[in-house]
Structure 1
Amino acid sequence: MNVQQSWQEPDPEHVSLALAGHDVPWVVDARQSAFERFKAHGFPSRREEEWKYTDVSVLSRRASLLPDNIPPDAPSEAALYAWMLSQQNVHLMVFINGHYSPELSCPGNLGPGVRLESFADMLDDAAELPQALFDQQHEHTVFDALNTAFSTDGAVLRLAPGARLEMPVYLLFIASGYGVSIYPRNIVVAGAGAQATVVEHYLGMVDAHNFTDSTTQLELGAGAMIEHCKLLQEGSAAYHLAGIHADLAADSRFISHSFALGSRLARNDITVRLSEPGGHCTLNGLYLLNGRQHADHHTRIDHLAPSCVSREYYRGVLDGESRGVFSGKVTVHPGAVKTDAHQSNHNLLLSREAEVDTKPQLEIFADDVRCTHGATVGQLDDDSLFYLRSRGLDAETARSMLIYGFANEIIERVPVPELRNRIADLVLDRLSQGDSIKELL
């Protein structure tokens, strides 16, 4: 699709001059060249294999994809939600429509060797941001290029070698406008042996046709460990396109949790590069869909070095006319001997109209490896329903309990108790007998 035919916007040069880093020549150049790459490709079409099952053409008909450069006032509901989070054991950063809100945030005492800053502030101070973190190399989809062109703000977490954060960094992104376009950019750089947990929570305060295009980059030094949790809870009319990209050094460990519980259409592109021996990554995901919701998880793990381990566990629960997509690709490159890789995708269909497209893939170009994959699509098990009913549960409660048990296989992996309980409650609230199950748990 020709972007210029459908997108009547000011020249991108003027747009970049209104964003963070507009006084830094290389930042302006990087934004403009990224926008040119986006225009050259256009919006992905379903003729492209990677977008075969996800139609994003509606985005080309938006009145504007430009970010709002004026930070909005935080609605009272957002302020209350942020205050509740600030009472928990987290380092909290709050963003309203893509702009950092210091008055709602509570980063707290980070300790030695840890820096947590606004991405916009770092763009304005070019000396603080390596150009390598804002270049074409980190673009895995055309929406990463669009994010580079229009990113407004986000979080930058830098951990010195050996630094450890006891409490999670909690990044709360609130969409409070109508028809707004939001471009968060998050960067995590962990030195050798550093450890931290990072939560990204996308929350919609209104049911509007908002558009979020987010990119998160993670670089793990030797022996570092980062656990990343993403909770998508935007409004039922919102569109959410995101990239999460991790690069692992020797003996480092990356764990990802992705929960897609909101948005009209959501896509997460998650990539991991195991660049040196001994790296370990685990990708967990759950999509809980109803109505006409659509969620797409595209993962790619590149085993580039020997003796690395990867695991993927994704589950979907689909009702109504919803559609889920899982495409997981594991590539074992030449020389990556003793690779140990496993991926699985299991789906539960609750209606005849719900649909799942699942495509686990393995590409192996090395010997002496152990790689497996599998996928299932099915309905609730009649024998399990009969067993629960024989124990005195009514049909709807038994059905809800089986659905929750299926989803809880992923929920219980979340390391942060408050977040784990919050996700469990959100899932139970979607079930017809969720309140009854809460009493039984």
Structure 2
Amino acid sequence: MDSARAQMLAAREHLQQHGWVSRRSEAFHHLPPPPADQWLGTQPQDACQAAPLDGSGWTLQPVGGHPGQGGVDARWLDALDPAQRSALFAGLPVPGDGEDAPFVWAHRALCRQGLRLSVPAAAGRDTAEGTVWLHLHHRSHSPVEAPMLVIDLAAGARCVLVETHERDTGADACQQAVTQNLQAHIHLGTGAQLQHLRIAAPAAQDQLAHHVHAVLDDGAQYSQALVATEAAYHLQRNTVQLRGKGAHARHAGLLLAGGQQIDQQVYTDMRAPQTTSQVEILTLASGKARVVANAYTRIAPGSTDADVHQRLSGIPLSGQPRLIMRPHLEILHDQVQAEHGATWGALPEDALFYARQRGLDEVTARALIIQGMAHAVLSRSLEQPEDNGLLSQWLEGGWLVGAIERHLQTMPEVTHG
């Protein structure tokens, strides 16, 4: 038996011995994930599948009008090959015993492919020409899959990354429900900067769990803007470690649910002086949707002048959605600045009134107000002077407008419950 196969079997055995996510888990209490066997399932012979490296999985696409991918080292690796599997997982932490550890073990048991990206510091890195622009798209190739993404930014590197997860609708696309357990590991060297726009739009019947692990060295800056839509189960979990002095992390989430589930969790560990963490999540839900927004920040001893802001907002658009906002701070140092808050309520009546006064029907008025709120939340995380208007360019493409329109319902009154 080769080492790759042995590692996969060992991970399955670990899950059998230690069990799946506990029902008593604080992180997954409100939206428990599907059982382990659904993340480890085997595919029938007639299931739609593609070879891991035939164009499915991760693809790098050009970002029009911007510097290309020069100098970036991209390696597509087959996790069933012992040597390539070793290269794929090199330098990554061994799965521990945290609340999300069962997902990591399930991923190790099933992972069959992955992509490693290394982004160097370019000449002229203090100008727009020194920024690397990348568009990563993931295409599902199997009904049950465990893709891997590893990104390493060298000291001083600057990168703008658009990462999209949308189900293909072409004739050759897989029409079955997809269960996907994604693990992404991001390391930012000293002074590195990453602007990261993530789009996760699964099919209604899919089950997704995306785990993004980021580690920041001295002076590194990581800004993520997430737009996520509902699914039968949809988890977006970010774990950020600010281990370098002056490291800075921003997270913005826009969650759109019209009757199913989304769970966004942002865990930040501040381990060094003068670090900054900002988390803002806006939830728009209707029908019988169940949505959880969970922000947890730990300020470790010695994190002098750490600065933390958490803001979670939920807006029911119609029906009786269940919205759970959970800001949390664990402060173990005295000289810090921290604030958090959560709000829950309807769209502002005065804004609706003035929009209607301009001749707009109610559906159009609500759509415009929601688009403005969504843009404001995402721009506070992503839109920086050095990104050359990444967010504005994406919004002009109409994706967000269409997503909001699909999730708006015409019920004239919101029932609070």
TM-score by length of 1: 0.78
Structure 2 counterpart of 1:110, which letter?
Answer: Q
Aligned length: 384
**What's the counterpart of residue 339 of structure 1?**
306
Identity %: 23
Q: Which structure 2 residues correspond to residues 279-428 of structure 1 after superposition, within 5 A?
A: 279-291=247-259, 293-412=260-379, 413=382, 415=390, 417-420=392-395, 421-428=397-404
Give per-residue Cα distances to partners, 1:368-403, cap 9 Å, x unaligned: 100001111111222222222222222222222222
Q: Distance in 2 between matches of 1:184 and 1:321?
A: 31
TM superposition shift of 1:120: 2.1
- Check whether the contact 1:46–1:54 (CA below 8 A) recurs between aligned residues: no
TM superposition shift of 1:268: 1.2
- Check whether the contact 1:280–1:308 (CA below 8 A) recurs between aligned residues: yes
TM superposition shift of 1:249: 0.5
- Check whether the contact 2:39–2:180 (CA below 8 A) recurs between aligned residues: no
Q: Distance in 1 between matches of 2:57 and 2:212?
A: 28
Q: Which structure 2 residues correspond to residues 3-402 of structure 1 after superposition, within 5 A?
A: 23=2, 25=3, 27-57=4-34, 59-60=35-36, 62=38, 65-66=41-42, 99=53, 101=55, 105=59, 110-112=69-71, 114-120=72-78, 124-125=83-84, 128-129=87-88, 131-133=90-92, 135-136=94-95, 140-162=100-122, 166-175=131-140, 180-205=143-168, 208-291=176-259, 293-402=260-369
- Secondary structure of residue in 1 paired with 2:318: coil
TM superposition shift of 1:171: 2.1
Structure 1 counterpart of 2:94, which letter?
Answer: D
- In structure 1, list runs of 5 or more residues that go unmatched: 1-16, 18-22, 74-95, 435-441
- Secondary structure of residue in 2 paired with 1:286: strand
TM superposition shift of 1:39: 2.3
Which structure dedicates a bigger proportion of its chain to helix? 1
Greater RCO (CA < 8 Å, at least 6 residues apart): 2
- Secondary structure of residue in 1 paired with 2:367: helix
Q: Distance in 2 between matches of 1:167 and 1:417?
A: 18
Q: Distance in 1 between matches of 2:58 and 2:275?
A: 41
- Secondary structure of residue in 1 paired with 2:281: strand
* Greater alpha carbon shift after TM alignment, 359-368 vs 262-271: 262-271
TM superposition shift of 1:169: 2.3
- Secondary structure of residue in 2 paired with 1:298: strand
Structure 2 counterpart of 1:225, which letter?
Answer: Q
- Check whether the contact 1:34–1:148 (CA below 8 A) recurs between aligned residues: yes
- Secondary structure of residue in 1 paired with 2:213: strand
Q: Distance in 2 between matches of 1:374 and 1:156?
A: 37
Q: Distance in 1 between matches of 2:140 and 2:19?
A: 25
Query: 1:102 and 1:45, CA in 2 relative to 1: closer, same or farther beyond 3 A?
Result: closer
- Check whether the contact 1:67–1:183 (CA below 8 A) recurs between aligned residues: no
Structure 2 counterpart of 1:254, which letter?
Answer: Y
- Secondary structure of residue in 1 paired with 2:92: helix
Q: Once superposed, what is the RMSD of the aligned Cα atoms?
A: 3.2
TM superposition shift of 1:312: 0.7
